[in-house]
Structure 1
């Protein structure tokens, strides 16, 4: 008859019996005091996380082998203590044992007093990039406090919004709608970052009016905080700080509004916004962060001034623009996309440009002084770029354009970009005669979901 293993103690007792080991021998093997080990086996002392680690190692088992039983140990066989539960939650997150985290959280949240402590753990996991585990904690804390008008609830929803963002545009929109209801409950510093992320989402979704309105809200809030900070003789030590310097949000608002004008082919207005995000006359605090911010926006301003002239049809500026961006490796993909759009619009031949920068055509991760380009915007940019590349090659009677249509459709399906898929369908219809049988089959597979 096989003995039932109901507790970690049962498993340890069985192991010692099978191995013919005494408590003293196992004590030497694991480094656990023999008296402590004896009390653990008799149930006279709770099993701490350090004990669990040593016991598991001593039995030569995977580290998380007893994790499910340890949940019972923390709640059924001894009173729950945060001293044991906190390290257990952190280690469960590192090992991907979300099931154990869920079990612990469900029992802890029966008492609201644990919500702040779980929130603190979630914040630590979020900062460390363990977003799956953090999301589980944020969701449970949110459910616990859903009837509370608290800032903690708003921060949970903000973090869940950030975690939810990915390539799927429909899910991004859903996440944005949920988060917006909590935006005004955040501290103003977090509001700025929240608005910035919302602007990026709505911009990537081509919801220009919404993105423009949010960009204006960001400008208003950032200017308000900047002016208050400037008038203050000293900064309050307990004042929460935004992720980036305040001047960043002011400049970024103008940058995004310029980009929205660009989408409407209003390059005259776009250039006016360029002049705003390259204006440094109002900067009062010239510290290291401000200098970095100014330098990055000055660079973008110089490049975009040339770009908007190119996109207005001034082909004579193209060579100067190419020379300028050729040293900006992280800007090249975006630049190529815009050059290709202009080439298709005005009938230019830019084969030499595509050949010169062929290595930058594949979709990659691009960085700036402030980190990588927004993922949603870049995914959308890449999808549109493939469609533009298809149009360019087909206009020049090159059959490889068909494959770029199919690639753009694949990318459109991945991020749920219906507008580019429709453009691809129209383009394929005009050049169907250049598609062989294999390409026809590939196209029908990709376009199927949109029919």
Structure 2
């Protein structure tokens, strides 16, 4: 709908109200007086920069008259030179409804789809995800009947943007995006498979992780063989993945070893460890590549300890603890597995509890608004569940209840139904020994679950 009020009428009213001449307003707004005159007469359309200068000179908030400006843009033949800066300014000022309005109007003409897609990519790279997602959705809708790479890329970006603290939404996003992976460029497929595998890993859908990791490794090996041919000649692809190519091969081994860990096949897990511990075949020698190799060598050592512990090797725990105690990022996952082994084999590891007492007490899942928080929170819940079971089986009910409830609170926060049910079952199993205070805290958390509905996350 075209507004009866226009930017020109607003400017004309302002000049009459303030008694300013065109020349005086031109001096304030830094717009040529002749240009202002033609704008008021309707001889020429208003440029984005001119609108912002006029609004500032009138003492109005940024973004004033943007709705009128959008209508004016539609009153003339579409002009990308005017609409592009308008979209960027709307993104800066978080005027998302206006972006949606403009983009919907523009996508009626398919000639604008490539330009809109490029704009969405630019906004995405700037971190303006809300604005970018609106454009991606419109572009995808315009191309939904085209089996194009651009359609697949739109869905890839929307998948990436949508990941958050709600695991059920993450599952829906992953399921929706999965069908578009094969339509991506062969290089982009590697990053897409990696990202999907990471999501399914956090959801503990291990059959999916196994399938995606192996497919990523297979495709990466093909590309690696092509890039570094047997004749010693390096072949260059027009596009490169986000990380050095060899990473996708060894990352597939790492994820496959994690799948074996979850299924209890520690012998096979150790075979995968051997595959990413020997990196003598790697051709890349950049600073980033060397750092990646160092990390994987460290993980190979750590995971060798881990899988031997999970096979019941009690004697190696001391070495494992000594290895990870100075590696901050490794402590939480290592402790989780140590307590899991202790619960399985009835190990007494009170000395480990004592050693890491301060670290355990300081565990705090700070919500930094990123998907990485979700991964850390899921690890935290698993750790608290294993720690709780260790305490409970030793008859230390107060400590066991505290760990179970801390894990439950975190699981509810990230809307992880499987982790929530794990903590609930654990508490219910040992509730006969918990204090009234812990029982009340559990009841309060249960009320939150009933309010959401266990099946209505």
Superimposed CA distance per residue, residues 22-51 of structure 1 (whole angstroms, 9 cap, x where no aligned partner)? 110011111100000111111111111110
Shift of 1:106: 1.0
SS at match of 1:75: helix
Shift of 1:325: 1.6
Shift of 1:410: 2.7
Aligned counterpart, 1:124: 122
Runs of 4+ in 1 over 6 A off after TM superposition: none
Counterparts in 2 of 1:380-391, with a 5 A limit?
380-391=378-389
SS at match of 1:357: helix
SS at match of 2:312: coil
Aligned counterpart, 2:257: 258
Counterparts in 2 of 1:192-211, with a 5 A limit?
192-211=190-209
Task: Give yes or no for the alignment of 1:33 onto 2:32.
Answer: yes
- Contact 1:403–1:439 (8 Å) recurs in 2: no
SS at match of 1:241: coil
Task: Give yes or no for the alignment of 1:109 onto 2:107.
Answer: yes
Aligned counterpart, 2:270: 271
Task: Give yes or no for the alignment of 1:438 onto 2:440.
Answer: yes
Shift of 1:129: 1.4
- Contact 1:425–1:447 (8 Å) recurs in 2: no
SS at match of 1:46: coil
More off after superposition, 111-120 vs 199-208 = 199-208
More off after superposition, 192-201 vs 393-402 = 393-402
SS at match of 1:389: helix
Superimposed CA distance per residue, residues 35-76 of structure 1 (whole angstroms, 9 cap, x where no aligned partner)? 001111111111111101101110111111111111012111
Aligned counterpart, 2:425: 426
Aligned counterpart, 1:180: 178
Aligned equivalents of 1:34, 1:373: Cα separation in 2: 51
Shift of 1:339: 2.7
Which of 169, 172, 180 is 1:171 aligned to?
A: 169
C-alpha distance 331-91 of structure 1, shift in aligned 2 (>3 A):
farther
Task: Give yes or no for the alignment of 1:450 onto 2:445.
Answer: no
Shift of 1:257: 0.6
Structure 2 unaligned residues grouped into runs of 5+: none
- Contact 1:165–1:175 (8 Å) recurs in 2: yes
Superimposed CA distance per residue, residues 181-224 of structure 1 (whole angstroms, 9 cap, x where no aligned partner)? 11111001110001011111222222212211111101110000
Superimposed CA distance per residue, residues 294-334 of structure 1 (whole angstroms, 9 cap, x where no aligned partner)? 11111111111122222333232222222222222232222
Aligned counterpart, 1:233: 233
Aligned equivalents of 2:186, 2:167: Cα separation in 1: 27
Aligned equivalents of 2:23, 2:449: Cα separation in 1: 70
- Contact 1:135–1:160 (8 Å) recurs in 2: yes
C-alpha distance 395-342 of structure 1, shift in aligned 2 (>3 A):
same
SS at match of 2:356: helix
TM-score by length of 1: 0.92
Shift of 1:401: 2.8
Aligned equivalents of 2:87, 2:339: Cα separation in 1: 50
Aligned equivalents of 2:4, 2:27: Cα separation in 1: 24
Aligned equivalents of 1:12, 1:5: Cα separation in 2: 14
Counterparts in 2 of 1:355-374, with a 5 A limit?
355-358=357-360, 361-364=363-366, 374=372
- Contact 1:198–1:214 (8 Å) recurs in 2: yes
SS at match of 1:63: coil
Aligned counterpart, 1:394: 392
- Contact 2:165–2:371 (8 Å) recurs in 1: no
Aligned counterpart, 1:369: none
Aligned equivalents of 2:265, 2:45: Cα separation in 1: 70
TM-score by length of 2: 0.91
Aligned equivalents of 2:192, 2:272: Cα separation in 1: 22
C-alpha distance 313-374 of structure 1, shift in aligned 2 (>3 A):
farther
Aligned equivalents of 1:302, 1:259: Cα separation in 2: 14
Count matched residues.
Answer: 441
Aligned equivalents of 2:191, 2:442: Cα separation in 1: 45
Shift of 1:290: 2.4
- Contact 2:163–2:371 (8 Å) recurs in 1: no
- Contact 2:123–2:129 (8 Å) recurs in 1: yes
Shift of 1:443: 4.3
Aligned counterpart, 1:351: 353
- Contact 1:365–1:373 (8 Å) recurs in 2: no
Aligned equivalents of 2:299, 2:92: Cα separation in 1: 39
Aligned equivalents of 1:338, 1:62: Cα separation in 2: 56
Aligned equivalents of 1:87, 1:60: Cα separation in 2: 22
C-alpha distance 402-394 of structure 1, shift in aligned 2 (>3 A):
same
Shift of 1:246: 0.9
Counterparts in 2 of 1:6-405, with a 5 A limit?
6-76=5-75, 78-231=76-229, 233-236=233-236, 239-345=238-344, 346-348=346-348, 349=350, 350-358=352-360, 361-364=363-366, 374-396=372-394, 397-405=396-404
- Contact 2:226–2:235 (8 Å) recurs in 1: no
- Contact 1:333–1:360 (8 Å) recurs in 2: no
Q: CA RMSD in A?
A: 2.2
